[in-house]
Chains A and B, each alone.
Chain A
Amino acid sequence: MDKVAFSSWNGKIIDNRKGKASKALKSAGVNFPELPGKADALMGWNGLVVMNPKADVVSLTLNYLKEARKISCGECSVCMIGIDKIIDMFELMTEGLGDQGALAEIERIANEVSANAKCAFGQSALFPVSDAVKYYKKDFLDVIKGGRKIDAAGYRSAVTAPCIEACPASLDIPGYIELIKNRRFAESLNLIREKCILPGVVGRVCTHPCEQACVRNYIDEPLSIRLLKRAAADFDLQEGGGSLGGPRTAKKENVAVIGSGPAGLAAAYNLRVMGYGVTIFETFPQAGGMAAVGIPGYRLPADILSHEIDLIKRMGVELKLNTKMETLDVDRLKKEGYDAVFLAVGAHKGNPMGARGEDAGCEGFVDGVEFLRDINLGKKIEPKKKVLIIGGGNVALDCARSCVRLGFKDVEIVYRRSRAEMPAREEEIEGAEAEGVKIMYLTAPLEIVASEGRLECLGCVKMKLGKPDESGRKRPVPVKGSEHTIEADMVICAIGQSPELPVVKAKKKLSTTPWGTVEVDAVTYKTSVEGVFAGGDCVTGPATLIEALNAGNEVAKSIDAYLQNAKPEKGISFKGVEVGKHRGDAFVGKKAAGKVDLLDSKKRIKSFSEVEGAFAAADAMKEAQRCLRCYRVVVWQ
């Protein structure tokens, strides 16, 4: 669908009703939500879009108002009551009461609510109603004259928000924040868990793209969404940590989940809720995947993760640790009673850096993820004098900050580009620098120099930045004649990871990509092997925790559809739509974001104690009050 009869989307009026040739919206520079299937018209926070000239705009408007009323919080005096009054005026119109004056009154209410509502929902929701009354006046007058009936059936609706759109797992962020604002922490946590079964973990380590999308960025600073999620999880734990409840029904089918990382855990939880029997097979002696063996304790204390895994286990999910699946025999798993398999083995194998001597296996040259895993699994590591860490991502930063805590005297990161290109989170880089980690920019490794099997030094070359590459970052180019060596007792390579996939024994071969990841259908997560699904880092390559967790959520739905022979329903898509912007320019006062204390940098380098402090209940509620509740409603017919 791309031809339109009328559009007021983004406040840009396109009116093709009077015989003019209809024009595609996209070519007119307007992006509006993409609907699943054919539709006559849609009404959303940003306007009215009519595809079929015969569409019933009056009924659409009433249905939109009814959906908007459900989302209005009712806290301020104008938004919900304003909507109520307009809906009541519709009722009167159908009874033949009202005239042009009534339509002017609807516009007046809509305009005043937009100017004076408390939150961004009320400030944005009624623009399309004004549009409808203004540009489809005749249709409304027809209703008053009795020539047109209002129809309530056949409408669908969707709700989103800028933060929800930015979140890989689409958490109802304004919803759980509002519950915190109203001191309903337990309910908030339940709402979070509907889409994020590791709230304490995600509340600590998430890269929070939601905060980048927060509308407060245009006003002052974004909400501390991640810390609010953490608060909901922490308060629950302080009260003893309630259970997740049991499965909703019982089903006869069983699912094998290979890997207990965020993807595996999320899928296991969701499948268990649906009533399936679930067994997770985990290679390592600890469950949690990268969250357990890849993230150091000072960012994520082990007991937070183990508590959240315990809750999933208590629902009846079976967890088999120390069970390495080198061969995945699909037929055998079927015989053992597993009707579907979810491959979620992550990406735990460090990538080679392409330096001479790195394969020689000399003492003192180690892989970053392996190093972090050893620390997390309790292996004793003797601190050395000088350690170099190669790489600029979060794993490199985790290694460096762990080395400081282990007692290494001199910790230096070697990165081939400049700080601006560093993929690690800014707070990680700042944290490392505060702890005394040095960073050598524009330097690339050339050679691991060893003698008698022991590391001696790192051969390096200076780099300069050239033109941007495919990733958009400036490509580093070696500076001729700048080769030099840096002495070190240890070199840690942390430049990326790849999955270590099991050998799959099945009728068809498991399709993989040139990067060594599993190839899956983008919607169903199905692999080339019947009954085998894959998701998380082993499909995407190293990505964020919340992306892996969302893959687990989605795979659970897909496996359910597969086992029940159902077709998953397609939803509306807001891709390309500027959900963060709305019409009008209502005022929002500035309020600084709440902050938490960090452990003093002198104290924190002495142990793996958690660095970041938490919100107290009153602070969390105060921060939650800053939420602008930017819910967006769309209704279509």
Chain B
Amino acid sequence: MIDIVINGRKVKAKEGTTILENARELRLDIPTLCYHEDLSPFGACRLCAVEVKVNGTWHVATSCNTVVEKGMEIKTDTDQVRESRKLAAELLYYKYPDTEAVREIAEKLGVDVYDEKGEDHDCILCGLCVRTCREIVGVSALTFLDRGPGRDLDEPKIDFNPTTCIGCGSCAYICPTGFVKMEAEDDKRIIWNKVFKMVPCEECGRYFAPEDQLRYISRTTGVPFEKLTTCVSCR
């Protein structure tokens, strides 16, 4: 355990934990869009900004991916912090004005949001789906496409690899804006425009999982495919 100071309060923190984890333990309200406690921090939305004192001066830092250090001084509620969070929210709202998740958080952070209800479901590049696919599912069917010198890509975006996707739907479940859509149609599931064949439960006959997903589970766990064809409720 190490000593840190949050908003003037001396607290003990576990080594290797982040500012955000410690702040949430203290029930301090820090907004986030790209953070999820089961995934590695990404630091993309910049909404979780706090101030950290380094060598005597205060700096803006994202709390989700800054690991606490011994004696670290942190402030989570200053004018600078509010201004940084507001600008990040303002810019997100500027780019995705009709996406509900963005409108909600922008309004909360003091951005003037128009009254009309948003109808869009933009990808805001929070990376939750990419990290879920890689870290939880373990297949990495979703990756970011790179921009930079000599790489001719006007807008950053997420790339879908249909050959590795198993159709589990985790990306649709985690997506905060509804950009990733999953449609079900009897024995079919459609996700990222790929059609997956669903397997019916041997007991109740309900289509409960894509065949590709069950085959993937069978391959990684060694359990024969035939033993996986019963749904959770009937097992």
Chain A interfacial positions (CB closer than 8 Å to B): 70-78, 80-82, 84-85, 108-109, 112-113, 115-118, 159, 172, 174-175, 178-179, 182-184, 187, 585-587, 589-591, 631
A173 to chain B, nearest CB (A): 11
With contacts A78-B46, A81-B91 taken as known, whether A70 is within 8 angstroms of B143 at the C-beta atoms is: no
Are B88's CB and A73's CB within 8 A?
no
From the candidates A75, A115, A179, name the one contacting B60 in the complex (CB within 8 A). A115
Query: B66 contacts the other chain (Cβ, under 8 Å)?
Result: yes
Are A159's CB and B149's CB within 8 A?
yes
A277 to chain B, nearest CB (A): 28
Are B61's CB and A182's CB within 8 A?
no
Query: B117 contacts the other chain (Cβ, under 8 Å)?
Result: no
Q: How far is the CA of A106 from the CA of B128 in the complex (A)?
A: 31
From the candidates A71, A109, A178, name the one contacting B87 in the complex (CB within 8 A). A109
- Name 6 A/B residue pairs within 8 A (Cβ), A-sorted: A70-B149, A78-B91, A112-B84, A115-B80, A184-B143, A587-B66
By a CB distance below 8 angstroms, the chain B residues around A85 are 91, 94
Q: How far is the CA of A118 from the CA of B60 in the complex (A)?
A: 11
B122-153 at interface with A (beta carbon < 8 Å): 124-125, 127, 134, 140, 143-151
By a CB distance below 8 angstroms, the chain B residues around A113 are 87
With contacts A71-B148, A175-B149 taken as known, whether A116 is within 8 angstroms of B60 at the C-beta atoms is: yes
The contact string, 1 if C-beta is below 8 Å from chain A, for chain B 12-47, is 000000000000000000000100000000011111
Are B149's CB and A116's CB within 8 A?
no
B85-109 at interface with A (beta carbon < 8 Å): 87-88, 91-92, 94-95
Are A74's CB and B155's CB within 8 A?
yes
Q: How far is the CA of A118 from the CA of B126 in the complex (A)?
A: 13
Are A71's CB and B149's CB within 8 A?
yes
Q: Who on chain A is nearest to B80 by CB? A: A115
A45 to chain B, nearest CB (A): 14
From the candidates B84, B146, B156, name the one contacting A179 in the complex (CB within 8 A). B146
- Determine the interface band of chain B, counting residues with CB < 8 A from chain A: 35 or more
Query: B67 contacts the other chain (Cβ, under 8 Å)?
Result: yes
By a CB distance below 8 angstroms, the chain B residues around A118 are 43-44, 46, 62
Q: How far is the CA of A524 from the CA of B203 in the complex (A)?
A: 77
Are A116's CB and B84's CB within 8 A?
yes
B155 to chain A, nearest CB (A): 7
Q: Who on chain A is nearest to B65 by CB? A: A589
Query: B1 contacts the other chain (Cβ, under 8 Å)?
Result: no
From the candidates B60, B61, B88, name the one contacting A77 in the complex (CB within 8 A). B88
Q: Who on chain B is nearest to A633 by CB? A: B149
By a CB distance below 8 angstroms, the chain A residues around B140 are 183
Are A589's CB and B66's CB within 8 A?
yes
Q: How far is the CA of A587 from the CA of B45 in the complex (A)?
A: 16
Are A81's CB and B146's CB within 8 A?
no
By a CB distance below 8 angstroms, the chain A residues around B148 are 70-71, 73, 172, 174-175, 178, 631
By a CB distance below 8 angstroms, the chain B residues around A586 are 59-60
With contacts A78-B88, A116-B88, A589-B66 taken as known, whether A183 is within 8 angstroms of B61 at the C-beta atoms is: no
Q: Who on chain B is nearest to A72 by CB? A: B147
By a CB distance below 8 angstroms, the chain B residues around A589 are 61, 65-67
Q: How far is the CA of A112 from the CA of B65 in the complex (A)?
A: 19
Q: Who on chain A is nearest to B68 by CB? A: A589
Q: Who on chain A is nearest to B102 by CB? A: A77
Are A172's CB and B150's CB within 8 A?
yes
Q: How far is the CA of A70 from the CA of B87 in the complex (A)?
A: 22
Are A178's CB and B150's CB within 8 A?
no
By a CB distance below 8 angstroms, the chain A residues around B80 are 115
With contacts A80-B156, A118-B43 taken as known, whether A183 is within 8 angstroms of B84 at the C-beta atoms is: no
Q: Who on chain B is nearest to A83 by CB? A: B91
By a CB distance below 8 angstroms, the chain B residues around A76 are 43-46
Q: Who on chain B is nearest to A164 by CB? A: B149
By a CB distance below 8 angstroms, the chain A residues around B212 are none
By a CB distance below 8 angstroms, the chain B residues around A187 are 146
Q: How far is the CA of A113 from the CA of B155 in the complex (A)?
A: 19
Q: How far is the CA of A591 from the CA of B88 in the complex (A)?
A: 24
The contact string, 1 if C-beta is below 8 Å from chain A, for chain B 177-190, is 00000000000000
Query: B54 contacts the other chain (Cβ, under 8 Å)?
Result: yes
Are A175's CB and B151's CB within 8 A?
yes
Are A73's CB and B59's CB within 8 A?
no
Are B143's CB and A182's CB within 8 A?
yes
By a CB distance below 8 angstroms, the chain B residues around A70 are 147-149
Are B67's CB and A590's CB within 8 A?
yes
By a CB distance below 8 angstroms, the chain B residues around A631 are 148-149
Q: How far is the CA of A80 from the CA of B127 in the complex (A)?
A: 16
Given contacts A75-B44, A77-B88, A77-B124, 19 further A-B contacts (CB under 8 A): A71-B147, A73-B156, A77-B33, A77-B45, A77-B92, A81-B95, A82-B91, A85-B91, A113-B87, A115-B59, A115-B60, A116-B88, A118-B44, A174-B148, A587-B52, A587-B61, A587-B66, A589-B65, A589-B67
Q: Who on chain A is nearest to B83 by CB? A: A112
Q: How far is the CA of A112 from the CA of B91 in the complex (A)?
A: 11
With contacts A175-B150, A631-B148 taken as known, whether A183 is within 8 angstroms of B91 at the C-beta atoms is: no
Query: B69 contacts the other chain (Cβ, under 8 Å)?
Result: yes
By a CB distance below 8 angstroms, the chain A residues around B145 are 182
Are B49's CB and A116's CB within 8 A?
yes
Query: B233 contacts the other chain (Cβ, under 8 Å)?
Result: no
Q: Which 4 A-B pairs give the minimum distances between C-beta atoms?
A: A74-B156, A587-B59, A81-B91, A112-B87
The contact string, 1 if C-beta is below 8 Å from chain A, for chain B 50-62, is 0010100101111
Q: How far is the CA of A631 from the CA of B146 in the complex (A)?
A: 14
By a CB distance below 8 angstroms, the chain A residues around B94 are 81, 84-85
Are B84's CB and A115's CB within 8 A?
yes
Q: How far is the CA of A118 from the CA of B125 in the complex (A)?
A: 14
Q: How far is the CA of A172 from the CA of B44 in the complex (A)?
A: 23
Are A77's CB and B44's CB within 8 A?
yes
By a CB distance below 8 angstroms, the chain B residues around A82 are 87, 91
By a CB distance below 8 angstroms, the chain B residues around A77 are 33, 44-47, 88, 91-92, 124
By a CB distance below 8 angstroms, the chain A residues around B84 are 112, 115-116
Are A585's CB and B57's CB within 8 A?
yes
Q: How far is the CA of A74 from the CA of B83 in the complex (A)?
A: 21
Q: How far is the CA of A116 from the CA of B59 in the complex (A)?
A: 9
Q: How far is the CA of A591 from the CA of B65 in the complex (A)?
A: 10
Are B146's CB and A184's CB within 8 A?
yes
Q: Who on chain B is nearest to A85 by CB? A: B94
Q: Who on chain A is nearest to B84 by CB? A: A116
By a CB distance below 8 angstroms, the chain B residues around A172 are 148-150
By a CB distance below 8 angstroms, the chain B residues around A108 are 87
With contacts A81-B94, A112-B83, A585-B59 taken as known, whether A73 is within 8 angstroms of B44 at the C-beta atoms is: no
